[in-house]
Amino acid sequence: MTSQSAATLRSRYVEQAASDLEENRRRQQELTERIRLLKQEEALLADILNLAERYEGFADPSRLPEQLQEEPVVAKAKQPSGTSSRHRASARTAPAGSTAKTGAKGKSRRPLLGDLLADLLVNHKEPRLAKELRDELMEKHPDRNPTPQVVRNTLEALVAKGRIRRHKQQRAVMYTLVKRGTADAA
């Protein structure tokens, strides 16, 4: 190897090392900013958790400040003192579907997603894709914005209950409403 090729090689290594160092510094700055944002989110969530714990003792969930009726109701859960706060928070929050059972008596609730999807299927004779149903749902109910996965899961739950039927056409999965008389026969 000649001294000129060694010098060229050395200069390439120096350039590469300088480039790598600059990239590492940039990445460190990005990560530092992300850590700062995550710490802010953590503080906010801790405040929310403290507020939820403070209002946990109320018997009437409608007394919770600025809580919409569609939001999950905080239910009492007895946890061992050594459990992490994240675990306690997830155990204490009631699932969205159980708000009708644990919520205030006699108050109207937002209709369940499954009922809305079944109502949309009533209007169609031909099978519908989950995406089409989600788009139609968001058009008719702009206050609802379920993810495509939530819509598919809800449709599959309705299939399991026998309320709707699944049709596969090649790779597409489509859904139709089961007629009341045919649900019992199937």
Task: Determine contact, residues 114/154, Cβ cutoff 8 Å.
Answer: yes
- Look at the block and give the residue holding tokens 């031909």: 126
Express each pLDDT in 124-178 by its tens digit. 888 999 999 999 999 999 998 899 999 999 999 999 999 999 999 888 999 999 8
Q: What is the pLDDT of residue 63?
A: 53
Identity at 33, one-letter amino acid code: E
CB 133 within 8 A of CB 152: no
Let me know how long the chain is. Answer: 186
pLDDT exceeds 60 at position 9: yes
Which positions ≥6 away from 155 have C-beta within 8 Å? Answer: 117, 130, 133, 164, 166, 175
Q: What is the pLDDT of residue 179?
A: 81
Per-residue pLDDT reduced to its tens digit, 50-97: 888 887 665 455 554 554 545 454 444 444 444 444 444 444 444 444
Sequence-distant (≥ 6) Cβ neighbours of residue 52 within 8 angstroms: 74, 89, 92, 93
pLDDT of residue 61: 52
Contact 126, 150 (CB under 8 A): no
Q: Would you identify the CATH topology of the domain 113-185?
A: Arc Repressor Mutant, subunit A (1.10.10)
Q: What is the mean pLDDT of residues 1-15?
A: 88
Reported confidence tier of residue 101, pLDDT bands at 50, 70, 90: very low
The b-or-e profile of 20-42 (16+ CB within 10 A means b, else e) is eeeeeeeeeeeeeeeeeeeeeee
Portions of the chain given CATH number 1.10.10.10: 113-185
DSSP bridge partners of 93: 74
